[in-house]
Each structure stands twice: as structure tokens, then as C-alpha cells.
């Protein structure tokens, strides 16, 4: 991986993601999102990457969910992608910013209609007495918006992780793995090799 040391980590990331899309059977864009609450207690869950550019890595959620609340209260997070078939992992750490209203609207409009309805029906992360309650809410929202566009609710939007560090890990025999860590500096990105 020495050839990566002088390149833009986002370029490398996009290459690895494209290769994962060709080899992973399900959700190559799945990533573990780690957050912490106001007391510093960590929490992690899988979410889907929905955008990558020079600004960072974007994902969408109910901002009133547990993860949304944690990201608002403590706007720092870490992401981890692991592609077992490729024996690769990418970790990213940094600050969190909200995506723009236009970005949230555009992504919401691109979702399947049933997913849009689900965003309206779900009080994400809150207690649910039984499955039938959720199914009834879905049916009611389907009736309410029959024949018309489903609006994006105010509480459904996105976040962008703005990385200050990105690490690329590639499995090697006998646990002598390759690790390259990029850190953002005032002059751009600086890379260094790490011991496995």
C-alpha cells in the first residue's frame, strides 16, 4: 500500500468501495457508526453510506432517533467499513455536520415510496407496544398520501462525517497487515504507515 501514501484518501476510498460493490453480496455501503452521548457513553450500529465527496461521508436518519440525538449533543463520530471478502477495512473519524435541506430533500425523493412512508410511520428508537401498531401507522399514511408525493418530515434528514483521519487496513498473512492512516493537516492530508 505504499503507493497510497501520497494520494487523496477519498480517491482510494472510492476505488475500494467500487471494488466492494463488485464482490460483496449485500450492502457494500454498510458501515458501523459509533457515537457517544453527552456523558461519553458509546453506542454503535450499522447504517448505509449514501454519499461521498471531498466534504465527507453522508448518511440519513431520523434526527430524533438515539443516534440523531447523540450526534446533535456530541457532534463527533467514527465509521468503520469491513469487507470480509476483500479482507479490507476502512475507519474514519471526525466531526459531524448536518446535510443541507436540499440534499435531504433530494435523497428522500430518491427513496422507494414504502421507505418514505416508513420514515413517517416510525418513531425511531422509541418503545413500540407491538408490530401491529407500526403496520397500522403505515397503512394510515399510505391512505393519507394515496396518489400524491410523500413529503419529507422535518425530523428526517442527514449527517455528514467530516473526517480528520481515515485509515485503510488490508489483511496480510500471519497478521502482518498493511495499515495506512491519513490525517488532515492545514496543508492537506498526511499519510503514515502503522504497525499492524
**Nearest residue to 134 (alpha-carbon basis) of 142, 158, 62:** 142
Give dist(CA 62, CA 84) in Å, integer: 29
Count of helix runs (H) and strand runs (E) in the chain: 5, 9
Is 175 tagged catalytic? yes
How far, rounded to the nearest angstrom, does the alpha carbon of residue 141 sit from its chain's CA centroid?
27
Of 175, 179, 181, 184, which is the active-site residue? Answer: 175
Give dist(CA 143, CA 137) in Å, integer: 10
- Which residues participate in catalysis according to the annotation? 175
Amino acid at each position: 500500500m505504499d503507493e497510497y501514501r501520497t494520494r487523496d484518501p477519498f480517491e482510494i476510498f472510492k476505488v475500494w468501495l467500487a471494488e466492494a460493490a463488485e464482490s460483496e453480496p449485500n450492502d457494500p455501503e454498510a458501515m458501523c457508526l459509533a457515537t457517544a452521548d453527552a456523558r461519553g457513553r458509546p453506542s454503535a450500529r450499522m447504517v448505509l453510506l449514501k454519499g461521498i465527496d471531498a466534504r465527507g461521508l453522508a448518511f440519513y436518519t431520523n434526527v430524533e432517533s438515539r443516534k440523531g440525538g447523540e450526534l446533535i449533543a456530541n457532534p463527533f463520530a467514527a465509521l468503520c467499513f469491513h469487507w470480509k471478502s476483500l479482507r479490507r477495512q476502512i475507519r474514519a473519524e471526525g466531526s459531524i455536520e448536518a446535510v443541507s435541506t436540499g440534499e435531504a430533500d433530494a435523497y428522500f425523493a430518491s427513496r422507494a415510496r414504502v421507505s418514505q412512508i416508513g420514515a413517517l410511520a416510525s418513531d425511531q428508537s422509541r418503545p413500540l407496544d407491538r408490530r401491529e401498531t407500526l403496520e397500522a401507522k403505515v397503512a394510515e399514511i399510505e391512505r393519507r398520501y394515496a396518489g400524491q408525493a410523500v413529503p419529507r418530515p422535518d425530523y428526517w434528514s442527514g449527517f455528514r462525517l467530516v473526517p480528520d483521519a481515515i485509515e485503510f487496513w488490508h489483511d496480510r498473512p500471519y497478521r502482518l497487515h498493511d495499515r495506512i492512516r491519513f490525517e488532515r493537516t492545514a496543508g492537506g492530508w498526511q499519510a503514515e504507515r502503522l504497525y499492524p
